[in-house]
Amino acid sequence: MGLTVSIYPTFFGGGRYHKGMTREDRSEWVRHRARQLGFARCGIAPAGPVRAAERFEAWLAAGLAGSMSYLHRYIEQRRDPRRLLDGARSVVMCSLSYFQRRPASGRGADGPRGRIARYAWGADYHQLVKDKLWTLLDGMNRQFPEPFEARVFVDTAPLLEKALAAEAGIGWIGKNTLLLDEQVGSFTVLGAIVTTLALEPDPPALDECGTCTRCLQACPTGALRLDRPYQLDARRCISYLSIEHRGAIDESLRPRMGRWLFGCDICQDVCPFNRRAAETTEAGFAPQPPAPRPDARAVLEWTAVDCRRATRGRALDRATRSMLRRNAAVVLGNVGTRADAAALRRAAADGDALVADHARWAMERIETRAAREQTMRTRRTLHYRCQQCGHSNPVGLVPAEYDPRTFVCEHCGNEQWVELPDLLTADGKRFISHRPIEED
């Protein structure tokens, strides 16, 4: 929850006593000071009923929040921020960019690399944003003479931050349900100051998504869909599955998670408004190991001490060690090789049933993929030997359902009927049902 402070007239530290400041003057000062502190955008919404609350409650009622039961609590406070602070008149909403360019993926020295969502690359954003908001609030205390109270919130209170940010004019809620700004993009985190101070509100932002559907088309799990823009099915969202969901991940969704070990940026990566976004200047967001490309095999074998060392003071701490190891097993199942089998066998025998289940699934996936890749390699080297001159003629890739056909020998020109048993691998073995077999 937020922290409550009572603010009274102060005259220390270079404070000013501006009796003649209007609400507009105060609002402009707040916005200007927020930009000085490094916030990408700052806007002001009136403290009152949140217009998007009804839509939020319908989303909850439809069961689209999955197992996030905490969202069903404190509904009255979510409907109206005045429930969080008696006499509240204004909500100051600030956004802080965490955007950084994407480094290359692939295999590290010891195993395949997973991916971590950008917001979790560095230090915990909660503290970064909160520190800036307290500095802003301290400046408001010094600048404005009348007594007022305020509470600071950063993503931990029953406050509809994105809806209030849209009402404050610092962005609109896009079709991917994230806050979007034409200049800043969507790679931002939000913070709020709910205050009894009277400030002039900003006009709400206008939706600029237009006919674009890139985010809806790019979602690999169907959490976002073309037939329901502006609505997220959290139960299928990679971020929810890897961070919020405590249990087993549906087997049908595991392959679609790809390399994502913690969170997901896909619907943001494809958004046109993020192409022009400037990189963050906030040093706290600089990548710290294991971000941005964790070694999935190493994460799978983390001890409790390893996990604490890697996640303490980070957004990564939101997921438990068991969940992170579960996620690592999914990554290995999707991109790992037989070189990862030993680590997966150890995990499959682990006392943590959640990890063991996903490790066994990953082992099966790797073996299936390895067999398929071997078949593909074999299929690319298939040939047949001409019955007339004995020349070896390359056939190339054979479809899954092979139909007998005529071929012309490239050496002697003899036309002959070739059936599946006539095909040979590069080492002269017969090829039956896409599997090389020994001659009788």
Residues belonging to the active site:
155
Decide: helix, strand or coil at residue 112.
Answer: strand
Alpha carbon distances (Å) from 204 to 43, 90, 194, 232, 362: 9, 14, 17, 22, 47
CB contact at 8 A, 17 and 11: yes
Q: Which residue has the tokens 């069961």?
A: 63
Decide: helix, strand or coil at residue 151.
Answer: strand
DSSP-derived secondary structure for 300-357: HT--HHHHHHHHTTSGGGGS-HHHHHHHHHHHHHHH--GGGHHHHHHHHT-S-HHHHH
* Ramachandran area for residue 60 (φ above 0: left; ψ -120 to 50: alpha; else beta): alpha
Q: Which residue has the tokens 């063991």?
A: 356
CB contact at 8 A, 199 and 27: yes
Query: How do strand 260-262 and strand 115-116 relate by DSSP bridges?
Result: parallel
CB contact at 8 A, 67 and 243: no
Helix intervals (H) in 46-90: 53-61, 75-79
Alpha carbon distance 8, 36 (integer Å): 24
What is the 8-class DSSP label of residue 39?
Answer: -
What residue type is assigned to position 81 of the chain? P
Alpha carbon distance 264, 214 (integer Å): 15
Over the Cα atoms of the chain, what is R_g? Answer: 29
**Beta carbons within 8 Å of 312's beta carbon, 6+ residues apart:** none
Element housing 45 (H / E): strand 41-46
Decide: helix, strand or coil at residue 91.
Answer: strand
What residue type is assigned to position 112 of the chain? P
